[in-house]
Amino acid sequence: MYKFLFASLIILLYIGVMDDIVVMRAYKKLVAQVIVSSIVVIGSDIRIRSLFGIFGIYEMDYFISVFFSIITFIVLINAFNLIDGIDGLAGGYSVICSALFGISYYRLGEYNYPLVVLSVIIIGAVLAFLYYNLSNYRTNKIFMGDTGSMLLGFLLAFTSICFIDIFIDREVPGVPKYHLQSAPVVAVAILILPIIDTLNVIIIRIINRKSPFDADKNHIHHKLLALNLTHRRSSFYIIVYYLFIVAVAYYFRHININLLLLVIVFLGFLGAYLPDFVYLLKNNKKTIN
């Protein structure tokens, strides 16, 4: 499992550093992302094998599973890149996601302890980064860049797919059987911020007849900054709200999986548009006064 993971991380690290220094073309980064995702999915067999009944889909054909898993890796790599727009957000959210996955792996038994170690390593590395990222002194301040955000997106895609794979109903010698019918939705809830934020900005760009790859100020963190919140407060409010969504997903984990997915997606988009509602209310009050 890990030899292919480390090989992929080295390639992704090189691409990220090159992009931060030289600024690579988008298609070159995409090719690299396809390569590293394929190495892990095919080489390590880390893939989404079943959707547990989402849209009536259970066990997937091998080639469909491989294709879907590679797409999942690519989407999450780029989604984390997009939320890295203010201090503390991508790093803080990564710490929370890794902590949630790490606790889950720990509770699921010693067979999953290597994944616990991986989660702890991610938390430790990101906490060290956040110390300087949130520094008030410009001389000490550092930023994540494409290198950090792509690596974190890749690692969290890896841990989330491993999380889903644990609950597949299959016999593996020496491995305890676990069951959580809503495992894919719980994983989506944990990673809901980058997923919803990416979907939201793409939808808005398409409606405005712009390229989905054009930069704009429609990200959730940009909307909070428009309310005159600081980077720290914006990151804090976003993380707290999406922790609420994780709590909802976990509490209702035993209900119908499609209904739970609908609830989680609704709450995700609600969080994306709450800053717009607050902004309109503030402007209306100013107009009335």
% of the chain exceeding 70 in pLDDT:
94
Distance CA 183, CA 164 (A): 6
Where are any strands of DSSP class E within 62-219?
A: none
The answer to whether residue 123 scores a pLDDT higher than 90 is yes
Distance CA 59, CA 236 (A): 38
Confidence label for 177 from pLDDT (cuts 50, 70 and 90): low
Distance CA 194, CA 250 (A): 19
In this predicted structure, what is the pLDDT of residue 171?
59
**How much is the pTM?**
0.90
Confidence label for 144 from pLDDT (cuts 50, 70 and 90): confident
- How high does pLDDT run on average in the chain? 88
Distance CA 148, CA 129 (A): 10
Binding-site annotation, residues for Mg(2+)? 81, 146
Which tokens sit at 189?
Answer: 């809830």
3-class SS letters over 9-22: HHHHHHHHHHHHHH
Confidence label for 250 from pLDDT (cuts 50, 70 and 90): very high
Which tokens sit at 22?
Answer: 């030289």
In this predicted structure, what is the pLDDT of residue 239?
93
Contacts of 10 (CB under 8 A, 6+ apart): none
Q: What is the mean pLDDT of residues 200-221?
A: 83
The answer to whether residue 173 scores a pLDDT higher than 70 is no
In this predicted structure, what is the pLDDT of residue 219?
87
Q: What is the mean pLDDT of residues 158-162?
A: 93
**Per-residue model confidence as pLDDT tens digits over 5-19:** 988 999 999 998 888
In this predicted structure, what is the pLDDT of residue 94?
95
Contacts of 176 (CB under 8 A, 6+ apart): 108, 109, 111
Where are any strands of DSSP class E within the chain?
A: 50-54, 57-59
Contacts of 64 (CB under 8 A, 6+ apart): none
Binding-site annotation, residues? 81, 146
Distance CA 79, CA 100 (A): 19
In this predicted structure, what is the pLDDT of residue 81?
87
The answer to whether residue 105 scores a pLDDT higher than 60 is yes
54 secondary structure, DSSP code: E
The answer to whether residue 127 scores a pLDDT higher than 90 is yes
